[in-house]
Amino acid sequence: MILAMVWITDAFGQNEISRIKDYNVKDGIALQGYDPTSYFAGKPIPGNDKIKFVYTGLTYFFSSHENLSVFKSNPGKYEPAYGGWCAYAMGATGEKVKVDPETYQIKEGRLYLFYNFWGNNTLEDWNKNLDELKRRADRNWSKFIQ
């Protein structure tokens, strides 16, 4: 058990308390209640609060027991990049900015989320300079998860 906790802390660079503080969650719920596996199936679907799983301090909802099983088989694959904050903002300014959970991109097996409100869809800006913004976002996010 202790070895597993050390591995989780090392793998993510944070403990559960830090994850809850640094990740985009409300009342401990990640992805605003959306099913994390649904993004990889091509369409984000709100999860069911009766089908949930707590993974290193964050609660995820799922639309089916099958999706929950898929998540449990490889949770790190389905967690959003940058703690679920806007990928563009993390790259452009290093800030934690809220997202529209239905504005996303799957790139190289990672889920990226974006701000999309009031006519400002940051996914469009992200795509204009994806490589540089991703490099900067990775560097900026590492400051939060030390």
In degrees rounded to 5, what are phi and psi of residue 98? -60, 165
pLDDT of residue 132: 98
- Indicate if 87 and 111 belong to the same structural domain: yes
Tell me what the mean pLDDT of segment 22-41 comes to: 96
- Indicate if 1 and 72 belong to the same structural domain: yes
Q: Is the dihedral of CA 39, 62, 13, 88 positive or negative?
A: positive
Q: Which of 68, 55, 69 shows the shortest CA–CA distance to 12?
A: 55
Global pTM reads 0.88
- Indicate if 116 and 51 belong to the same structural domain: no
- Kindly state the percentage of the chain with pLDDT values over 90: 84
Q: How many domains does the chain have?
A: 2
Domain end call among 51, 78, 105: 78
- Indicate if 72 and 95 belong to the same structural domain: no
Distance CA(142)–CA(46), nearest Å, equals 29
- Indicate if 72 and 84 belong to the same structural domain: no
100, β-bridge pairs: 114
In this prediction, residue 20 has a pLDDT band, given cuts at 50, 70 and 90, of confident
In which domain, by residue range, is 45 found? 1-78
- Indicate if 125 and 86 belong to the same structural domain: yes
- Indicate if 87 and 53 belong to the same structural domain: no
- Indicate if 101 and 69 belong to the same structural domain: no
Site of tokens 């490889």? 74
Distance CA(97)–CA(78), nearest Å, equals 20
Tell me what the mean pLDDT of segment 52-79 comes to: 97
Reply yes or no on whether the pLDDT at 101 is more than 80: yes
pLDDT of residue 21: 87
Tell me what the mean pLDDT of segment 96-113 comes to: 97
